A and B are shown apart, each in its own frame.
Chain A
Amino acid sequence: MSILFDSTSTVKTELSKQKYIASDEIATIVYLSQKLGKPLLAEGPAGVGKTELAKAIASATGRELIRLQCYEGLDESKALYEWEYSKQLLYTQLLRDKLNDTLGKAESLAEAADKLAKEEDVFFSSRFLLQRPLLKAILSDKPTVLLIDEIDRADAEFEAFLLEILSDFQVSVPELGTLTAKHKPFVILTSNNTRELSEALKRRCLYLFIDYPNLQEELAVVRLKVPDLNPKLAQQAVEFVQKLRKADMRKSPSISETLDWANALVALNASNLDKDVLEDTLSVLLKHEADLQKAKRQLMAPPPQPKPRNNDEFGRFSGN
């Protein structure tokens, strides 16, 4: 239970059982992060499988995946814990008789207050603590995988707040003291690199940059995830996507979009990537109108004729 993977090759095989194809780089760094007990910071363009990696690790190790989606304005009470006032109130109501029993025997007000103070712990126990993802991951009886998704969306303050958890795997709740993790969760943070993260946070993590895959890797992913697509078409489709990524698009198609597209091709029972099929399905791949137009113009145009010389060149030559 405590050792997940015992070598980089196990990481690879176990992840591929979960239908996640890990490159050597990913496998090595995942292995390292598990061995060193350090959080893993995965960065890269949207849709290259950062979140998927966390899911695959969770299911490969049989651990529960606890996910914290970050957004602007996320704060402690939503990420860590909150006192459940209504439940506390309900308990005081229901336990009123018992309280009377305990306090009734007191002779003076001061004594009653003392007695009440002794019982105070009852009302500020973890029973009334509403666990949010971070606390859940720390207090869990079983080891877990904690995914802190899109950390770059959260405010800089929230990053600072994460530091204690990431380095010592403990949190401080003023009423209860410091809660330390029973099992160190395997922490994965993802970022789309929309803003630079703080040095302090980066220092505590191992860094993994996941880029768009090359042709072979992407083809392997498509073949694995969409087995129904015929191999020739899959090859064509992936080549097409790779070509799109090289073109200057507002948003390059991600792997997940390639997969959506592959599924669309299967659903349409396409046998070849011809013009009609492309026109019908291109919107699965490209989500900006401008990109769509551009792709249609560039990639569906007949092979370029040798370019006529432009005026510039004429000018240059005649000048000599």
Chain B
Amino acid sequence: MESRILQLIAALRASGVRVSLAESAEAFSAVDLMGIQDREHFRLSLRATLIKDVKDLPTFEKLFPLFFGSGQPPMMGGNPMDDLTPEEIQMLVEALKQYAEQLRQRMERLMNGDQLSRAELEALGQLVGLNQADNLNYQNWMAQRMMRALAFPEVQKAMKELMEQLAQMGMSRERVEQIRQMIQQNMQGMQEQMEQFAGERIAENLSEKPRGENIDNLMNRPFHALSDEDKKLLQREVKKLAAMLRTRIALRQKRAKNGQMDPKATIRASLKYHGVPMEIKHKDRVHKPKIVVICDVSTSMRFCSELMLSFLFALQGQVRKTHAFAFIDHLESISEDFGGADADEAIQSVLWRMPSGHYNTDLGWALNDFNNEFMDTLNSGTTLIIVGDGRNNYNDPRVDIFSNMSRRATRTIWLNPEPPIMWNGDSDMAKYAPLCSNVFKVGNLRELANAVDELMTG
């Protein structure tokens, strides 16, 4: 039982759920306490201790029955042989005799309602390459392949013919239908058995799979060469980066305490000194950092926009006063999309709303939109972050608006996936760059981390 729980935990980890050592220890003490007699209690004690996030709940619910299955799925149909009259059995045997040997065996099994044995399942699994599968999405596919290996489609066809034959031999319609249904249900049972087996095996493979690739390698890989799974891993790193950036911004603003005098706090503090106002207290300048981010999600930036958006998402989670915008040919506020707690959903909703298409990137126009509607979001104390390659398709770059924006903001930071040497052609980066406080080349996560680091020291 213990090793089974450990396997479940390993499989959870392999599917991307974060389970710490303390939590797995906790799971064991919870199981000790609740016992394992009641399956429901057992499930809940594992779930409450191991899963700490709503979005991980489905993963758990999917894996749990695979490790602690309810046993063999029952053969629904029972044994059709039992309630046939001797004549009917005779007819059936006659009919079966006329089939090829292999099909006959299969049919007989279905007639008897036998389940597949463990060894048979193993052999089948081997046949279809189940041992290499380590992704639960393949569960149904694997089960289907196993069924095909068992010649299920042929059996199905044979059954139909068999039934017709029985009918011709003079068995009543209802009886034939009854037998057909029972066999059908037995097939269903076998199918479920195979699905369960495939799921179990995949989950076991999952739990043995070595932990993901070294994060360091991923950090150095360019954004466009990342697989979906890598992106998930990196999102976690991205979250850390956003947290770092936020602490830094908060610190900067806490240090700058040159706001108005705070009479209340001064009097309170003076009590320490017998009513003499020795310490003059000031109202804190806005403690809360404010960030305005404008992100290019056009075709040329598509390969990295997902990660960049997840960076924005994490940033928004950390800094309440974040206004996030995205643009291709016009500007849209995406702060609303980022309201929930699920990063993937938010990012998908933005990318879905702003599909990359035939229309051209137009930063100038986006800046114009910003100028008309959102200029008031920029004031002293705001950090303006622009994510994009500055490729403007020879549209008017509107440097005038941009310089106005950078003047209003405390700090203007540009994150560009291209190095300065590529700022040619339709890139207007060279015009924008002098107006920014910092321009960073961000082509992979390592560079993003470096940019954040530098922002923090600078």
- Most chain B CB within a 10 A radius of its CB, from A32, A35, A38, A72: A32
Chain A residues with Cβ under 8 A from B47's Cβ? 207
Chain B residues with Cβ under 8 A from A24's Cβ? 40, 44
CB-based contact B52/A207 at 8 Å = yes
Q: Is A206 an interface residue (CB 8 A)?
A: yes
- Most chain A CB within a 10 A radius of its CB, from B18, B40, B41, B52: B52
Q: Is B422 an interface residue (CB 8 A)?
A: no
CB-based contact A8/B318 at 8 Å = no
Chain B residues with Cβ under 8 A from A196's Cβ? 53, 317, 341
Chain A residues with Cβ under 8 A from B22's Cβ? 203
Contact of A38 among B26, B40, B271 (CB under 8 A): B26
Q: Is A209 an interface residue (CB 8 A)?
A: yes
Contact of A199 among B20, B45, B320 (CB under 8 A): B20
Q: Which residue from chain B places its CB closest to the CB of A195 in the assembled complex?
A: B317
B210 to chain A, nearest CB (A): 22
Stretch at the interface among B27-35, B148-156, B364-372: B27-35
Q: Is B48 an interface residue (CB 8 A)?
A: yes
Contact of B20 among A33, A36, A203, A209 (CB under 8 A): A203
CB-based contact B53/A206 at 8 Å = no
Contact of A193 among B51, B54, B57, B318 (CB under 8 A): B54
CB-based contact A32/B274 at 8 Å = no
A residues 155-185 touching B (CB-CB < 8 Å): 156
Interface size on B, residues (CB 8 A): 33
Q: Is A119 an interface residue (CB 8 A)?
A: no
A86 to B53, CA, bound (A): 45
Chain A 205-219: CB-based contact to B (< 8 A → 1; otherwise 0): 111110000000000
Chain B residues with Cβ under 8 A from A202's Cβ? 52-53
Q: Is A41 an interface residue (CB 8 A)?
A: yes
Q: Is A89 an interface residue (CB 8 A)?
A: yes
Interface range on chain A (Cβ under 8 Å from partner) = 20 to 34
Contact of B272 among A36, A38, A85 (CB under 8 A): A85
Q: Is A28 an interface residue (CB 8 A)?
A: yes
A29 to B33, CA, bound (A): 12
B residues 338-353 touching A (CB-CB < 8 Å): 339, 341
Going nearest first, the 3 A-B pairs with the smallest beta carbon separation are A202-B52, A85-B271, A28-B44
Chain B residues with Cβ under 8 A from A208's Cβ? 48
A residues 25-52 touching B (CB-CB < 8 Å): 25, 28-29, 32-33, 35-36, 38, 41, 43
A197 to B400, CA, bound (A): 42
B residues 1-50 touching A (CB-CB < 8 Å): 18, 20, 22-23, 26, 29-30, 33-34, 40-41, 44-45, 47-49
Contact of A207 among B48, B268, B287, B339 (CB under 8 A): B48
Contact of B52 among A32, A33, A73, A205 (CB under 8 A): A205
A231 to chain B, nearest CB (A): 30
Contact of A29 among B48, B53, B339 (CB under 8 A): B48
Identify the A interface with B (CB < 8 A).
8, 24-25, 28-29, 32-33, 35-36, 38, 41, 43, 72-73, 85-86, 89, 156, 193-196, 199, 202-203, 205-209
**Additional pairs, 6, CB under 8 Å, beyond known A35-B33, A205-B52:** A25-B44, A32-B49, A85-B268, A196-B317, A196-B341, A202-B53
Could you write out 8 A-B pairs with CB less than 8 Å apart? A28-B48, A32-B30, A85-B272, A206-B30, A207-B47, A207-B48, A207-B49, A209-B54
Q: Which residue from chain A places its CB closest to the CB of B246 in the assembled complex?
A: A156
B residues 272-301 touching A (CB-CB < 8 Å): 272, 274, 287-288
A33 to B33, CA, bound (A): 11
A202 to B22, CA, bound (A): 11
Chain B residues with Cβ under 8 A from A209's Cβ? 54, 57
Chain A residues with Cβ under 8 A from B45's Cβ? 28, 32
CB-based contact B317/A43 at 8 Å = no
Chain A residues with Cβ under 8 A from B34's Cβ? 28, 32
Q: Is B243 an interface residue (CB 8 A)?
A: yes
A296 to chain B, nearest CB (A): 24
Chain A residues with Cβ under 8 A from B53's Cβ? 196, 202, 207
A118 to chain B, nearest CB (A): 21
Contact of A36 among B26, B41, B268 (CB under 8 A): B26
CB-based contact B271/A89 at 8 Å = yes
CB-based contact B54/A72 at 8 Å = no
CB-based contact B33/A32 at 8 Å = yes
CB-based contact A203/B52 at 8 Å = yes
Chain B residues with Cβ under 8 A from A25's Cβ? 44
From known contacts A28-B41, A89-B274, infer whether A194 and B51 are also in contact, taking CB-CB under 8 Å.
no
Chain A residues with Cβ under 8 A from B40's Cβ? 24, 28
B residues 34-88 touching A (CB-CB < 8 Å): 34, 40-41, 44-45, 47-49, 51-54, 57
A205 to B341, CA, bound (A): 19
Q: Which residue from chain A places its CB closest to the CB of B54 in the assembled complex?
A: A209
Chain B residues with Cβ under 8 A from A203's Cβ? 20, 22-23, 52
CB-based contact A193/B44 at 8 Å = no
A194 to B318, CA, bound (A): 11
CB-based contact A206/B49 at 8 Å = yes
Chain B residues with Cβ under 8 A from A199's Cβ? 18, 20, 52
A130 to B52, CA, bound (A): 34
Q: Which residue from chain B places its CB closest to the CB of A208 in the assembled complex?
A: B48
B271 to chain A, nearest CB (A): 4
Chain A residues with Cβ under 8 A from B51's Cβ? 207
Chain A residues with Cβ under 8 A from B33's Cβ? 32, 35-36
B22 to chain A, nearest CB (A): 6
A205 to B272, CA, bound (A): 40
A159 to chain B, nearest CB (A): 12
CB-based contact B274/A156 at 8 Å = no
A251 to chain B, nearest CB (A): 12
Chain B residues with Cβ under 8 A from A73's Cβ? 287
Q: Which residue from chain A places its CB closest to the CB of B314 in the assembled complex?
A: A196
Chain A residues with Cβ under 8 A from B288's Cβ? 72
CB-based contact A72/B30 at 8 Å = no
CB-based contact B320/A194 at 8 Å = no
- Most chain B CB within a 10 A radius of its CB, from A28, A41, A89, A205: A28
B383 to chain A, nearest CB (A): 18
A218 to B287, CA, bound (A): 43
B112 to chain A, nearest CB (A): 39
A47 to B341, CA, bound (A): 18
Chain B residues with Cβ under 8 A from A32's Cβ? 30, 33-34, 44-45, 48-49
B346 to chain A, nearest CB (A): 12
A199 to B19, CA, bound (A): 10
Chain A residues with Cβ under 8 A from B30's Cβ? 32, 36, 206
A193 to B54, CA, bound (A): 9
Q: Which residue from chain A places its CB closest to the CB of B20 in the assembled complex?
A: A203
A194 to B340, CA, bound (A): 6
Chain B residues with Cβ under 8 A from A8's Cβ? 41
A72 to B287, CA, bound (A): 11
Chain A residues with Cβ under 8 A from B339's Cβ? 194
CB-based contact B18/A43 at 8 Å = no
A303 to chain B, nearest CB (A): 32
